[in-house]
Amino acid sequence: MSNPLVARRLAIVPTTNCSLNCKLCCDFLNGPVKRRDIPFEQVCRDIDACFDLIDHVEWLQFVGGEVFIYRDFPKLLDYVQKYRDRFDRIIIESNGTVFPNEEGQRAILSYGKDISLFISDYGKLSRARDQFIAFFEEHQVDHRLKKYYGDDQYFDGWIDNNNPHDLKEPGDVLEVNSRNCVQNRCKNMHCFDGKLYRCSNSCFMQEMGLFPPKPGDFVYLHDDSVSREEKREIIEQFYEYARQSCRYCKFKYIGILPRHPAAEQL
């Protein structure tokens, strides 16, 4: 019998639609990546496929785009209740622009102390921020506000990972830099549109068509010609060597790259 496969982070992306239009969008939603909803039934199939391959998930995350403009988001939160004993916490990431409707609030509260909301606070742009805070305080919901306006921005602001191009790092340098990348260390898998990737940049650089798909870079969740064991082997290797995306991605230099004000709008 094989060893249990545990995911530290598994981010489900039900939509790349967003209520903002950030110049330095880290998901390349400022043009190169198409904005679209993945139909509810398809997201559920992807989630089922992930839980068929992965034995346990520490943080099951929902990220966008902006998840609170995805119409079926409350239904998705309800749907993953079926895996309640297979993950430790639910994490929702939001830009604080749209407050969930009653269904969404109920679905959030159904997780009690096992849910956290991470709100990127973009000042005036995050128009629902105060509603979120009142809701968190009233219902004692665990949350984190990341301040991304004015001085002292979280992480000192954003980096510019736009216009990715081949950085031409020699192979061994690429391997070391990719291995030390924050995204590699936090093991933040991303599931989008039937595929499972090792990180958000791997996902969205593939999505923008920067390079042809390469076997082993990600898992086609519904490809029956690849066995469950083979898919699990690919996932186990996710963080062992650089992927094509790492060649093009400046994120691995986040510690030394210049910072820019967050969420400047186009």
Positions that interact with ligand SF4 (CB under 6 A): 18, 20-22, 25-27, 29, 64-66, 95, 178, 181, 183-184, 199, 201-202, 245-246, 249, 251-252, 263
Q: What is the DSSP letter of 265?
A: B
Q: How far is the CB of 18 from ligand SF4 (least distance, A)?
A: 3
* CA atoms within 13 Å, Cβ hemisphere of 248: 17
Q: Which is nearer to ligand SF4, 118 or 136 (CB)?
A: 118
Q: Which is nearer to ligand SF4, 7 or 29 (CB)?
A: 29
Place of tokens 């004993």: 85
- Measuring CA to CA, which residue among 173, 171, 149 is closest to residue 20? 149
Evaluate whether 162 touches 134 at the Cβ level (below 8 Å). Answer: no
Q: Which is nearer to ligand SF4, 69 or 86 (CB)?
A: 69
Q: How far is the CB of 74 from ligand SF4 (least distance, A)?
A: 20
Q: Which is nearer to ligand SF4, 62 or 111 (CB)?
A: 62
Q: What is the DSSP letter of 264?
A: -
User: For residues 223 and 124, what is the distance between their CA atoms, to the nearest angstrom?
Assistant: 44
Q: How far is the CB of 21 from ligand SF4 (least distance, A)?
A: 6
Evaluate whether 13 touches 63 at the Cβ level (below 8 Å). Answer: yes
* Angle 233-166-176 from CA coordinates, rounded to 5°: 50
Two tokens, residue 198: 């090792």
User: For residues 126 and 265, what is the distance between their CA atoms, to the nearest angstrom?
Assistant: 13
Q: How far is the CB of 140 from ligand SF4 (least distance, A)?
A: 27
Residue 221 has φ and ψ, to the nearest 5°, of -65, -30
Q: Which is nearer to ligand SF4, 135 or 148 (CB)?
A: 148
Q: How far is the CB of 221 from ligand SF4 (least distance, A)?
A: 19
Q: How far is the CB of 88 from ligand SF4 (least distance, A)?
A: 23
Q: Which is nearer to ligand SF4, 116 or 178 (CB)?
A: 178
